[in-house]
Amino acid sequence: MDIDKKKSKAKKIIPLLKKMHPHARCELVHGNPLELLIATILSAQCTDVRVNKVTSSLFKKYRSVRDYAESLPGKIEDDIRSTGFFRNNARMIRNCAQELITRFGGKVPARLEDLVALPGIGRKTANVILGNAFGVPGITVDTHMLRLSHRLGLTKNSNAVKVEFDLMKIIPEKQWIDVSHLIVFHGRYICKARKPLCEKCSLHKLCDYFQSNLPLKKSPPVKR
């Protein structure tokens, strides 16, 4: 499919997603860029619901970047234990906080190239932070975005960075943040990985996955 056809397809898909998910937003509870950065690190191997439970007490104990950077060994580990991979995440949080102090005056930077230079921060996390803490447009390519952009036929690439650039070419910049939320919601609640709930979806006509399975659905029962 050429790029103009993909653009026109994306243009039809986005309003339908908005109708299905009018309240799509970042589900990680946070009050400032630092809290979002910490929550995003924790969310890598954990549901947003669990992260929010952990951060509701974590953010009361750790008020500043110094609180993380100068925490006693093992302290962060204890405070985030239920999120899984807690040793690794605690190390990442501590290293990240120390880098923020050393290189950015203790503030979370608002540029992609600065964020991805921090320990453990990739483009996906960086785009979540940029979009939700600073309003800087970016497309977050997580597992839902990868799966849905394939099912909908918006890209053939499987590399996350290539998918991000493919989508940036066909979706207007002012919609990048919204689309990232819409796709996460759609992937989480309707177009699930193992068994998409196509009966609840209004994208049938625009979905390659659904269309390619139509003959199977329409085929008459086998006569014995």
Tokens of 29: 């509870």
In the set 9, 124, 166, 178, the catalytic residue is: 124
Tokens of 26: 């970042």
Active site residue 142: yes
**CA-derived radius of gyration, the chain:** 20
Q: Could you say which of 22, 70, 151, 221 contacts ligand SF4 (CB under 6 A)?
A: 151
* Least gap, CB of 114 to ligand SF4 (angstroms): 35
C-alpha distances out from residue 177 to 13, 135, 138, 148, 181, Å: 15, 8, 6, 16, 7
**CA contacts within 13 A on the Cβ side of 214:** 8
Active site residue 208: no
* Least gap, CB of 160 to ligand SF4 (angstroms): 19
Interaction between residue 29 and ligand SF4 (CB under 6 A): no
Query: In this complex, which beta carbon is closest to ligand SF4, that of residue 177 or of residue 190?
Result: 190
The residue count for the chain: 224
Query: In this complex, which beta carbon is closest to ligand SF4, that of residue 161 or of residue 197?
Result: 197
CA angle, residues 78, 83, 85, in degrees to nearest 5: 85
For 61, phi then psi, to 5°, come to -85, -35
Within positions 153 to 212, which residues make up the interface with ligand SF4, using CB under 6 A? 190-191, 196-198, 201, 203-204, 207, 209-210
Instruction: Tell me the torsion sign for CA atoms 139, 144, 147, 148.
Output: negative
In the set 6, 9, 142, 178, the catalytic residue is: 142
Q: How many residues bind ligand SF4 (CB under 6 A)?
A: 13
Query: In this complex, which beta carbon is closest to ligand SF4, that of residue 37 or of residue 207?
Result: 207
Around Cβ 84, how many Cβ atoms within 10 Å? 14
Binding site for ligand SF4 (CB under 6 A): 151-152, 190-191, 196-198, 201, 203-204, 207, 209-210
> So which residues are the catalytic ones?
124, 142
